[in-house]
Amino acid sequence: MALENSFHIIEFDPEVLREYDIRGVVDKNITENTAYTIGRIFGNIVLTKLNSNKIAVGYDGRLTSPKLYNALSNGLKDSGSFVSNIGMCPTPMLYFADYYLQTDAAIMITGSHNPSEYNGFKMVLNKHSFFSNDIQNFQKIVSTTKLEKKNGKIKNVNLIDNYIQRIMQNIDIKKKLKISWDIGNGAMGVVIDKLIAKLNNTENILLNKDVDGNFPNHHPDPTVPKNMEQLIKSVKENNCDLGMAFDGDGDRLGVIDNHGNIVWADQYMLVLCSEIKNLYKNPKIIMDVKCSKVFFDESKKMGCIPIMERTGHSPIKEKMKELKSPLSGEMSGHVCYGDDFYGYDDALYVALRLIRILSNHNESLFDLVDKFPKTYSTPEVRFDVEEIKKFKIIDDIKNRLSNYSEKIIDIDGIRLETEEGWFLVRASNTQNQLTCRVESTSSSGLKKLINLLEDQLKLSDIDYKFTI
């Protein structure tokens, strides 16, 4: 007779119940009992709302992920769930499993781009993102709902070959390309060798492909320029046509052009739009509030209908479904295809689409991006603030700018647009931080907007000076 597990249901540290996921520091506010409790609650939700017990589960390469998986799967089993364990995998492969296995829900254990001591849980219910109030309700469920213990099952499933076969569908590389890939020691390392073996007409250089939750070479966040230095060096030294980088769980894509320049998400999104515009009449393209005004202007010139949405892969995916959009993205590198794919963020699939586009052009990636208007901008600046203060600061800035004569967009933070450019200040939904970005068509305009933003931050007791 098998011994009963020793896990039990606990209340949550409120700080771990985030906007898009449940996330925190392992053994501090995320424990095995936290994972077990999530399993018991989520299994109950799936049963109650969908009358189903079919749930797919996967986990990334972090050192703490296996033990959290064990606790989570036991919680799901004790809720009566039939668990399909995909094993270690990038997050997009878990999303794929949800479709391929025809499960009704999925949970990915991942710390994404956060430091190595963090880990968390991304959830999908009935092919929709599970976020915001759905996550906040977990605490209430723990306090008010009697969660009946039932008998479920756990089955191990290997889908790597099925996943690769699907993302390679309709990917034909028409000219020889040399590509450097930085896996960042993240979970994409589970599949990259098999993918490269099937990628015709390419020469490939693989960096940091071994999965290592210590991330010994650099942190796996391709939005931070420092983390792209190794890939830039590889592209230049090997005369590559482009470089690709992934975050820890493989749902964010970073891109380097053939000259060794970082191509930001709003720039390579325009390259992706150049293909999409030929496949649809006036396609609706969604991009987040942090992206350049150039994207909205240039995609419109192409014949697309650009739509600004609040930041976050979950709201963007939901807006995509609502509008039946074929393409969406955000500055963090979460890009989703809905035309020939499922409408979720898969960095490897996006990379393949970009490679296919380049193979159909005589021009280099640098040349394709160089056509677009140039801007002067700051990088995205992040600085720590107290969790309880970050949203109040945004509200205060909004109130102070309420009588300002220029255009104010407040779908997510405050985006002020003037004739000279724009700035954005918003509260992060995943970290105790404010993020800011400033962009202008001139260096003088950039300085003017920076001064205005710095003044607003100072009025909220934040003494921050931008360096340009």
User: What is 127-138 written as a DSSP string?
Assistant: TEE--THHHHHH
Q: Which of 443, 413, 408, 440 has its CA nearest to residue 428?
A: 413
Question: First vs last Cα of the chain: how many Å apart?
Answer: 67
Neighbours of 293 (CB within 10 A): 18
Question: Sign of dihedral through CA atoms 197, 198, 202, 204?
Answer: negative
Whether 112 sits among the annotated catalytic residues: the reply is: yes
CB proximity list for 324: less than 8 A, separation 6 or greater: 284, 338
The Cα 306–Cα 297 span in angstroms is 8
Q: How far apart are CA 283 and CA 273, in angstroms?
A: 9
Of 181, 185, 179, nearest to 201 by C-alpha is 179
Q: Among residues 81, 112, 129, 325, which one is catalytic?
A: 112
Angle at 226 between CA 179 and CA 183, to 5 degrees: 40
**Strand 242-246's sheet: what is its strand order?**
202-207, 177-182, 242-246, 253-256, 262-263
- How far apart, in Å, are the Cα atoms of 41 and each of 155, 206, 361? 20, 40, 50
Query: Of 205, 199, 200, nearest to 178 (Cα)?
Result: 205
Contact in structure between 453 and 409 (CB atoms under 8 Å): no
Helix (H, G, I), strand (E, B) or coil at 35: helix
E-assigned strand segments in 249-380: 253-256, 262-263, 284-288, 305-309, 327-329, 335-337, 376-377
Structure tokens, 188:
């994409």
Return the active site residues: 112
